[in-house]
Amino acid sequence: MELGIALTLIATVGWGAGDVFARKAMFGASAITVLALMITISVITLGIVSLILEGPGAFGGNDLRFFGLVLIMGALTWVTGNLLYFHGMKRAGVIIAAPILGAAPLAAIALAVTFGGEKPNSWVLLGAVLIVTGVGILVTDRKRVLQ
Amino acid sequence: MSTPVHAEEPALAPDNRVTSGIAFTIFAGLSFALSGFLANDLVDGGHPGVIVGFYEGLCGLALVLAINVRQFRGRPQVTRAAMFWITLAAAGFATAFACFYTALSRIDFSVGAPILGAVPMVSYVVILFVLRGEEHITPRALLGAMLVVAGVGIIGITN
């Protein structure tokens, strides 16, 4: 459990810093070029790490369902996810885009309530109100400055 | 130092440009939430997180190249400085995917996802060093980001 939390915190730092580095790169390349080069380097890195940690055998033995799901995930994460996010960052700036993306757990709660039949407690509702207020402040900030 | 490249800059009014950027980001957030849910399913099924991240990236690369095939016919313009930041960003993202997908085999998605709500705060700290003079953190932006992080934190703790 503790290792899981620690790994998630490392992931938080990786994504938080990676977003800003990607935004910085966009001053010298188009969003789509940044994304394509980033995925290429990420895939090579993950491939090498997988080889070291799991061995070559881990790349095989996956069923059709696995490949179907990773294809959907690839589309969600890199096309409708990062591609749109990078365009969003280029247009709105990382200062506005990053907190809006950070509000994604609110969508997970909405899905759980709508489709999972879950009933949120008052703390969850308070958290949701804070998120909506925060996003509202960001979206209506007219003093945002780019470049 | 090469000259900056500003390809793909949309010809929109600044305010419309920002609004469309916000809409893109909201849609991206929904995509990430759904993708994380699916990753949790695969990792719970015994697939190593790094392998899931590798194949996901491979599929993503194929899709991004297929969708933007026309843009990549010519040689893309990338300054040397941009390549440096792209490499750093890729290292950050690869680390994040490997760590988070591995973490999902040890913790529930409902526990891990709210922790990622702290990503904006990490970004703001990095912005102070990397994007100084290029993006400015206004008091309103800081207040909005803090409220989002506080809200996600409350949901994460009470879950």
Residue among A102, A43, A18, A100 nearest B152 (CA): A102
Residue B36 is predicted with a pLDDT of 85
pLDDT at position A142 over 80: no
Residues of B in contact with A60 (CB under 8 A): none
Give A129-147 as a DSSP string: HHHHHHHHHHHT-TT--B-
Q: What is the DSSP secondary structure assignment for residue A116, as one 8-state letter?
A: S
Burial of B27 (0-12, 13-18, 19+ CB in 10 A): middle
Name the more confident of A126 and B73: A126
Q: Count the Cβ atoms, other than its own, within 10 Å of residue A2.
A: 8
The first and second tokens of residue A131, run together, are 């998120």
Confidence of residue B53 (pLDDT cuts 50, 70, 90): very high
Confidence of residue B128 (pLDDT cuts 50, 70, 90): confident
Q: Is A114 on the interface with B (CB under 8 A)?
A: no
Q: Taking the C-alpha atoms of B108, B109, B112 and B117 in order, what is their torsion angle to the nearest 10 degrees?
A: -150
Given the structure tokens 């190249």, which residue do they identify? B65
ipTM attached to this prediction: 0.81
Name the more confident of B75 and B38: B38
Which H helix or E strand runs over A114? helix A104-115
Q: How many CA atoms lie within 13 A of A78 on its CB side?
A: 37
Give B29-49 as a DSSP string: HHHHHHHHHHHHHHHHTT--H
pLDDT at position B2 over 60: no
Question: In whole angstroms, what is the distance from residue B59 CA to residue A77 CA?
Answer: 10
Using one digit for the tens of pLDDT, what is the confidence trace for B55-73? Answer: 999 999 999 889 877 777 7
Q: Is B74 on the interface with A (CB under 8 A)?
A: no
| Residues of chain A numbered 69-98 and touching chain B (CB < 8 Å) | 69-85, 87-98
Q: Is B43 on the interface with A (CB under 8 A)?
A: no
Is B19 in contact with A100 (CB distance < 8 Å)? no
pLDDT at position A1 over 60: no
